[in-house]
Amino acid sequence: MKRKIWLITGISSGLGKALAQSVMESGDFVVGTFRRQSQIDEFNKTKSDYGFAVRLDITDEIQIDQCIETIISKFGFIDVLVNNAGFGFIGAIEEASMREVRDVFEANFFGTLKLKKAVLPIMRKRGKGHIVQISSHGGIKAFAGFGIYNASKFALEGFSEALAQEVAPLGIKLTIVEPGPFRTNFAGKRLKQADKVINDYSTTAGAFREKLKVVDGKQEGDPVKASKAIIKLVASENPSLRLPLGKVALMTIGIKVDSIKSDLDKNREVAESVVYL
């Protein structure tokens, strides 16, 4: 059986690293992205039979184009694209500067959008492919102190849901993965925070900030198990649009679904009253 070629962004740590390793162990080939040349050199020295590393800063459009050109010239196609690169950001909405907001969106939204647009012509030409978007349970339910990050993931979920409908007739599959808290660097050194702190938000955004510090390293999620779940999903004939991962994700997404249903039921009479008769 011909092994698939996976393009996975951000494989230096966390879920991306675990997924890259699991994909290589499964027999498929990984093209993984790093931001530092030393990481690229080390990967290509030790993993050349199972993978190939390229440089990519997901916020750099020129690097995105160069990355895809390199992959196509070397391998000819991409079977699976995993948009994993990005970062978390803590801060009340008022605390976050517009520069900080734009930085979050450049990585979590615009970068992944640009990469998908670069890969889609390749998949369309072959009439097959699978796009895996690493979102978050925070892409469904928002949390005080996480609003800017939530917004970037809500936006990602929105265009990914529409894209799934657009590419399905073309033989291309798309899945949105929504992990809860996992034991990665997401809540550690990779987590960014608003420079400005407003004391009035100490019981909301501030409390959330302190909570993440406490749970870092104690999260329920196992990145290796998550990786195997993603690989199993990609191998399935009819993968679901969404894949929540972890008990916390099931709980928080369930709370959001129940909340929406409650609001629909509560306001049904009002909603129906505003239409032309």
Question: Catalytic residue positions?
Answer: 135, 149, 153
Tokens representing 83 are 């948009």
HEC profile for the chain?
CCCCEEEECCCCCHHHHHHHHHHHHHCCEEEEEECCHHHHHHHHHHCCCCEEEEECCCCCHHHHHHHHHHHHHHHCCCCEEEECCCCCEECCCCCCCHHHHHHHHHHHHHHHHHHHHHHHHHHHHHCCEEEEEECCHHHCCCCCCCHHHHHHHHHHHHHHHHHHHHHHHHCEEEEEEEECCECCCCCCCCCEECCCCCHHHCCCHHHHHHHHHHHCCCCCECHHHHHHHHHHHHHCCCCCCEEEECHHHHHHHHHHHHHHHHHHHHHHHHHHHCCCC
Tokens representing 277 are 């008769």
